[in-house]
Amino acid sequence: MESDLTFRELVENPDYPDNENILRQFIRFSYNLHENGIEFLDHSPGNTLIKKDEEGNYQFFLVDLNRMNFYQK
């Protein structure tokens, strides 16, 4: 999969275009994971790929999925 950037690039460059918006959308993404009983345990900066869609929203893709917990809600 081709991504536009990784989370590492975003946090290492605070002047990255649309930085605050991307971070806010990432927080929503992470919150939704937790609300759905998914705990991703390896949020190292290279394990989140970010892609901007045609509407200008950002999609987040997690890699290195071997460290996760799942809970029933």
* Whole-Å CA distances, 22 to 15, 27, 42, 71: 12, 9, 19, 27
pLDDT in tens, 15-44: 999 999 999 999 999 999 999 999 988 878
pLDDT at 65: 76
pLDDT in tens, 37-71: 999 888 788 899 999 999 999 999 999 877 888 89
Tokens found for residue 54: 């045609």
Of 26 and 1, which is predicted with more confidence?
Answer: 26
Tell me the C-alpha distance between 40 and 66, whole Å.
Answer: 9
pLDDT at 73 over 80: no
pLDDT at 3: 93
